[in-house]
Amino acid sequence: MLKQRPVAPVIDGIDWEIVEFVVRWAPFGGPDPEEALPRFGMTSEQLSARCAHIVARVGRFESRLDGHRRALLGRARQFLESGGTDIATLDPMARPGRWVARRGVWHWQ
């Protein structure tokens, strides 16, 4: 008998919207309650729990995702594991360097 590959869970557009929303708010400590409730009908705690459920469900099949969604899933996992407190490492713009003025414009190097 042939061994069947496990079927990847169906993740719909709203699930990916939730993951993107949580990741977008990660640098600020997590989803803003005033944004989460009207947009998704959930409190920010419920939204984070739903995101954790989505990440856990998709985790086994991560290799089947495209690069963008795999990176998104990784950032969501990092935020969820940090408990929403380690926000500096989640900021995609956060990197070591210093401000330098060139021709009257400040740049991060």
Structural domain contains residue 7: no
pLDDT at position 38: 92
| Residue pair 47/19 in contact by the 8 Å Cβ criterion | no
Q: How far apart are CA 4 and CA 46, in angstroms?
A: 35
- 8-50 pLDDT, tens digit per residue, is 566 788 999 999 999 998 888 888 888 999 999 999 889 989 9
Structural domain contains residue 82: yes
Number of domains making up the chain: 1
Q: Token pair of 12, please?
A: 């719909």
Structural domain contains residue 90: yes
Structural domain contains residue 3: no
| Residue pair 15/73 in contact by the 8 Å Cβ criterion | no
Structural domain contains residue 81: yes
Structural domain contains residue 5: no
pLDDT at position 41: 92
Q: How far apart are CA 55 and CA 74, in angstroms?
A: 9
Q: What is the domain range of residue 59?
A: 13-108
Asked whether the predicted pLDDT for residue 92 surpasses 60, the reply is: no
Q: Reduced to 3 states, what is the DSSP secondary structure of residue 105?
A: strand
**Full-prediction pTM beyond 0.85?**
no
Q: How far apart are CA 58 and CA 63, in angstroms?
A: 10
Pairing relationship of beta strands 99-102 and 105-108 according to DSSP bridges? antiparallel
